[in-house]
Amino acid sequence: MNLTLTWSDGAEALTYTVEAPEPDASDIPPPPAGMVLIPAGEFDMGSNDAEANNNEQPVRTVYVDAFYMDETEVTNVQYKEFLLENPQWQKGRVNAKFADGNYLHLWNGNNYPNGKGNHPVVWVSWYAAMAYSEWADKRLPTEAEWEYAARGGLKGKKYPNGNTITARDANFNNNVKDTTPVSKYPANGYKLYDMAGNVWEWCLDAYDAEFYFTFPRNGVARNPLSGANSIEWILNNYTNDKSNRVLRGGSWHFIASDVRVASRSTAAPATPLNPVGFRCARAVQ
């Protein structure tokens, strides 16, 4: 809000910008079951590490509002519940516009692979992830929210728990040669599991290799979003959006450099892939 004050003699005018105060953490409702609160804050998005790809640069300062995020990737059990209530998203029934023939590739009808109820669901398209999120009264995280959450409060580190990663920290580099149950590995500082490895995770944004060039060079990008002017627009129009979407986090068969918090990838929204799943977010009301 701008307030203009003018001296009584009309000689000088002063303009003040008054910003609403950030909400106090004590005023934020507790997170819904299975979610954690990610506090508002700033971080440096991207990487200048030797392993960094061009699409991770330039590094820019970003601010994100507080939000809630799922502790874990969405599991097969959770996704099956969605399918039973939404037959149009079941294998063999889904519109080809929203998922190609590989959708839920390893499922037998509405039954996920034996013994994998607590593994992350895979072979799901971005459209399917969006539909699940909508059904769950959530949404996919923005790319900025995802990276901020993955860093777990650490500054300038490569991985969710520091600058090194081993087979004890995450499922990556073909160490297990398959997905593992969610929350098997240690959580990061925000109590989020599998932010490195296990499966790639769909984000809300359209993919833009030069997205960070659109951020202020000096100053802070607030809640950046690629592909639309608002989150609400994407949520209301996603079934007609054909842009490639962002993938984050790496997966079980990718090497260490691909599971860094800054690593970015992309896929077409109707393309389900084996090492790709998702987790949900929700705005703080």
Ordered per-residue pLDDT tens for the chain, 285 residues = 444 444 455 545 544 444 445 555 568 999 999 999 999 999 999 999 999 999 999 999 999 999 999 999 999 999 999 999 999 999 999 999 999 999 999 999 999 999 999 999 999 999 999 999 999 999 999 999 999 999 999 999 999 999 999 999 999 999 999 999 999 999 999 999 999 999 999 999 999 999 999 999 999 999 999 999 999 999 999 999 999 999 999 999 999 999 999 999 999 999 999 999 999 999 998
Structure token pair of residue 25: 């953490």
For residue 137, give the CATH number of its domain: 3.90.1580.10
Q: Identify whether 12 is part of a domain.
A: no
Q: Identify whether 13 is part of a domain.
A: no
Q: Identify whether 264 is part of a domain.
A: yes
* 68 close to 31: Cβ distance less than 8 angstroms: yes
Q: Angle at the Cα of 116 (from 135 to 150), degrees rounded to 5?
A: 60
Structure token pair of residue 129: 């992830």
* 227 close to 74: Cβ distance less than 8 angstroms: no
Q: Identify whether 18 is part of a domain.
A: no
Q: Identify whether 17 is part of a domain.
A: no
Q: What single-letter amino acid sits at 164?
A: T
Q: Identify whether 5 is part of a domain.
A: no
- Kind and range of the H or E element at 54? none
The percent helix, strand, coil of the chain (3-state, each to 5) is 20, 20, 60
- pTM score: 0.91
Which residues form the domain of 53? 37-283
Measured between alpha carbons, how far is 104 from 91 in angstroms, rounded to an integer? 6
* 275 close to 199: Cβ distance less than 8 angstroms: yes
pLDDT digits (tens, 9 = 90+) for 92-130: 999 999 999 999 999 999 999 999 999 999 999 999 999
Domains of the chain: total: 1
Q: Identify whether 70 is part of a domain.
A: yes
* 108 close to 218: Cβ distance less than 8 angstroms: no
Q: Identify whether 50 is part of a domain.
A: yes
Count the Cβ atoms, other than its own, within 10 Å of residue 47. 20
Neighbouring C-alpha atoms within 13 Å toward the C-beta of 92: 6
Name the phi and psi angles at 148, rounded to 5: -60, -45
